[in-house]
């Protein structure tokens, strides 16, 4: 049975989510299209850059991502507390980095604020509370990301129509085991697809960006080009002249969006004491992903490292089952990923008998060395390096 987005994205259950969105008909609209012999690889850089730009506005942090030829994955942490702690002006200024906002909001953020009446200021405060909710809303983050990329791709092709097949799909990551599995699955997408032979060649992924950063290389932002009105095609000119879509009315043009700063990826914190960090050690995570990559590479299937990566051992996870699961992560699990105990708990909250993925969870997230099954991603869960 189809469930509402609000029931699938519940911040009271977990702030961590794995999301994926695909191009219409799963066409290679961000890669080499064998049918038309056109290459759109540059759009992968657009998406990667836009993800980081939006993370600087929304209170949503990016832990991992992979931009492929016909889809993309992102692992995110929604920071509701940060949005609630902002004052009204900070909220308004953030939101107006993306949208023009009503005239009242524009006046409030200008020198004309002193001439505004009490009722006008009260209305602006109401807008601020609305925007505050949107700043930690995963759906709004994805809507802005997808809409802005679709507009730029359609402008480049001088056409109209859908670019994405529909709304994004999401999986709640209920505990540290699920977070680790999702991040490794996402970072290894190019390896499994045969697009890269090593992590250092896996372009447009978070693992590539992290390795480059360790080598002292800064992230290179590549935004979609801004098309001048005089060279804009007839189709795109007509689209811009038409009324804006109600869902994203007032979204600023690409020239403004491309000027946004790029947020860094979430840091790693081996102590798990910092909420706005991935609760693992970076060195151990890189070791794990490298081990998995060598094991699941098409030319080396079944070759599992002689030792189990220590991070898996400390989380009580089965290495062989974990590597096998990484080939079909989204098929094995549905709207949530976690240990068996967490999946049963969420199923009870949703008034379901069980969630799809329970069998896979029992294989992958088995308890070893007395580790607790129902651990949850929180500052209190500590992993030693």
Q: Return d(Cα 341, Cα 163) in angstroms, integer.
A: 39
Q: What pLDDT digit, counting tens, does each position of 117-174 carry?
A: 999 999 999 999 999 999 999 999 999 999 999 999 999 999 989 999 988 999 999 9
Contact indicator for 43, 149 with CB cutoff of 8 Å: yes
Nearest in space to 251 (alpha carbons), one of 170, 152, 366, 321: 152
How many CA within 13 A on the CB side of residue 310? 11
Strands (DSSP E) contained in the chain are 16-22, 32-33, 38-39, 60-67, 71-78, 169-173, 336-337
C-alpha dihedral over 26, 65, 338, 281, to 10 degrees? 160
Q: Which residues in the chain come in under a pLDDT of 50?
A: 235, 239, 242-247, 300-304, 367-385
Phi-psi region of 26 (alpha: psi -120 to 50; beta: other; left: phi over 0): left
Contact indicator for 205, 42 with CB cutoff of 8 Å: no
Contact indicator for 346, 336 with CB cutoff of 8 Å: yes
Residue 95 confidence (pLDDT) = 98
How many CA within 13 A on the CB side of residue 93? 8
Nearest in space to 269 (alpha carbons), one of 257, 260, 282, 256: 282
3-class SS at 263? coil
What's 16's DSSP letter?
E
Nearest in space to 187 (alpha carbons), one of 356, 72, 47: 72
Q: What pLDDT digit, counting tens, does each position of 28-38 carry?
A: 999 998 878 89
Mean pLDDT of the chain: 85
Domain residue spans of the chain: 11-79+139-222+262-364, 82-135
Residue 87 confidence (pLDDT) = 98
The count of other CB atoms within 10 Å of the CB of residue 223 is 19
How many CA within 13 A on the CB side of residue 84? 4
Residue 382 confidence (pLDDT) = 36
CATH of domain 11-79+139-222+262-364: 3.30.70.1290
Residue 248 confidence (pLDDT) = 57
Q: Return d(Cα 285, Cα 179) in angstroms, integer.
A: 12
- Which pTM value belongs to this model? 0.85
């Amino acid at each position: 049975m189809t469930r509402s987005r609000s029931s699938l994205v519940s911040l009271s259950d977990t702030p961590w989510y794995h999301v994926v969105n695909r191009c219409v008909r799963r066409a290679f609209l961000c890669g080499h299209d064998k049918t038309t012999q056109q290459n759109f690889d540059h759009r992968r850089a657009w998406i990667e850059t836009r993800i980081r730009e939006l993370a600087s506005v929304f209170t949503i942090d990016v832990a991992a991502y992979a931009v492929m030829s016909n889809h993309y994955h992102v692992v995110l942490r929604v920071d509701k507390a940060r949005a609630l702690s902002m004052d009204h002006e900070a909220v308004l200024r953030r939101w107006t980095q993306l949208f023009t906002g009503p005239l009242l909001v524009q006046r409030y953020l200008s020198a004309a604020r002193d001439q505004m009446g009490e009722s006008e200021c009260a209305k602006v405060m109401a807008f601020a509370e609305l925007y505050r909710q949107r700043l930690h809303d995963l759906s709004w983050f994805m809507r802005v990301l997808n809409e802005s990329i679709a507009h730029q791709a359609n402008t480049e092709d001088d056409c109209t129509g859908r670019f994405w097949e529909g709304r994004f799909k999401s999986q709640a990551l209920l505990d540290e085991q699920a977070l680790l599995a999702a991040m490794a699955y996402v970072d290894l997408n190019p390896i499994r697809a045969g697009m890269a032979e090593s992590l250092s060649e896996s372009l447009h992924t978070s693992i590539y960006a992290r390795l480059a950063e360790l080598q002292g290389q800064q992230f290179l932002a590549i935004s979609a080009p801004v098309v001048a009105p005089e060279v804009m095609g007839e189709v795109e000119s007509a689209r811009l002249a038409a009324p804006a879509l109600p869902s994203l009315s007032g979204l600023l043009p690409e020239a403004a969006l491309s000027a946004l700063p790029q947020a860094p990826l979430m840091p790693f914190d081996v102590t798990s004491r910092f909420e706005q960090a991935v609760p693992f050690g970076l060195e151990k995570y890189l070791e794990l992903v490298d081990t998995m990559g060598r094991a699941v590479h098409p030319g080396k299937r079944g070759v599992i490292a002689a030792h189990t990566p220590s991070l898996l051992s400390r989380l009580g996870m089965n290495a062989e089952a974990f590597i096998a699961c990484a080939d079909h992560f989204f098929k094995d699990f549905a709207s949530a990923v976690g240990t068996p105990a967490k999946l049963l708990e969420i199923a009870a909250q949703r008034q379901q008998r069980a969630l799809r993925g329970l069998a896979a969870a029992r294989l992958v997230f088995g308890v070893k060395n007395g580790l607790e099954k129902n651990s949850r991603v929180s500052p209190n869960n500590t992993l030693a390096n």
